[in-house]
Structure 1
């Protein structure tokens, strides 16, 4: 729940709490689970869930459990940082995938996290935990480092909080993160080796929009043990440059 606990939540906040009850691990929830996770009385949850189901925002399966409905996906597809960006990026992501047959990803920054808008993955590609619509901490991912390096205010917010560690390679100190971001700004690409999972590393590059600001980042995720990441840098940077040009980025801001 994200509303202010000192005052009663509005109807909109209650609806958002219900939708926020779903997660990657909890894709289907019963009415009582929704009530509990949203912090709402069962009667209130029952009324709101019924209205959401009528609109198509929630769908009820044969077991009586609720899932996110297709209507929400239709609305989410209208997000300007989603559809337009993805459409411009897809040809370059597909080319990068065809050249490597590894995991290729597109992500944007949202606070201290990255949200993945697209992922192309081959059957033989290394296993990754990211998914379309999923989130990961920015400091622990290649795309996140590429984004933070060109987002000073967001980087300072991340640096002000404890850095979550996933492996012994995860960046865990302010000093190390500052040094890493400075290197990414200088070089124009980021390498994240074993920060989320030890078996994988990613090579990422920033994508700039028409306003000259960083709009997204792309990455390729490969096996950590058998790959020289610097071999992949030219291809990733070329794809990021192509997407930036497609978005109308000024020439001096194409990576």
Structure 2
């Protein structure tokens, strides 16, 4: 029986805590260190208030004040970020997306990660067709020129803006297997770090280039939603 969600107490937040968090969340992806004036501009707080708040943040290593007076995020902020990344099960996020894609596209949906010179099928939702891919979760495949391998190789560990000359999704046919075609998109997490590849695969006689064109938007939108849920700022 599903557990009922506990109601939130009807309480007000703490103004001082909200000001602290306003300063902390003023930092954006791509920032190195910020001048006091820039933090004031982003938060609409006066400089004297920001300086007092930063003293408290420094005590917890959430912010570091540099010798030139600028501020940057501290090591504790990085630790909290890593805890967040590990605090949810990837399977719980990915598998429902695969199941929806398989049901809507009628092709096999899968999620791959890279392991050295191979790619690992981590999760999969089968096509309802009797003729389909026979790769199972846990199976390894080579890092060849297939769509899935191209996504994993092209985007590497991270892609701050993504390679501009790569058209997504990537479609290939007959690479690993002469009878199999695939359509793949990258999935990113925080700091646009590549997590894996989301793919649709099927017989090349059915998943033709024309059919892949019809499925591109559906796969792209699913990949972008999943990346957003995993912390990517798209």
TM range (shorter): 0.5 to 0.7
**2: CA distance, partners of 1:129 / 1:138:** 18
Q: Structure 1: where are the runs of 5+ without partners?
A: 1-79, 154-181
**2: CA distance, partners of 1:136 / 1:148:** 13
1:191 to partner: Cα distance: 1.1
Alignment equivalent of 1:95, drawn from 100, 104, 109: 100
- Written as runs of structure 1 = structure 2, the 5 A alignment for 1:214-229 is 214-226=194-206, 227=208, 228=210, 229=212
Contact kept? 2:172, 2:183, Cα under 8 Å: yes
Contact kept? 2:103, 2:127, Cα under 8 Å: no
Secondary structure of the residue aligned to 2:178 is coil
Size of the aligned set, in residue pairs, is 143
Runs of 4 or more off by more than 6 Å in structure 1? none
Alignment equivalent of 2:177, drawn from 197, 210, 217: 197
**129 and 91 in structure 1: CA distance in 2 versus 1, 3 angstrom threshold:** closer
1:123 to partner: Cα distance: 4.3
Secondary structure of the residue aligned to 1:202 is strand
**1: CA distance, partners of 2:93 / 2:117:** 25
- Written as runs of structure 1 = structure 2, the 5 A alignment for 1:31-46 is none
Q: Is 2:125 the partner of 1:120?
A: yes
Equivalent position of 1:244 in the other structure: 227
Q: Is 2:147 the partner of 1:142?
A: yes
The C-alpha deviation readout for 1:134-158, integer Å capped at 9, x for no partner, is 11012243221111111179xxxxx
**2: CA distance, partners of 1:195 / 1:246:** 31
Q: TM-score with structure 2 length normalisation?
A: 0.55
**2: CA distance, partners of 1:230 / 1:123:** 20
- Report the aligned-residue RMSD: 2.5
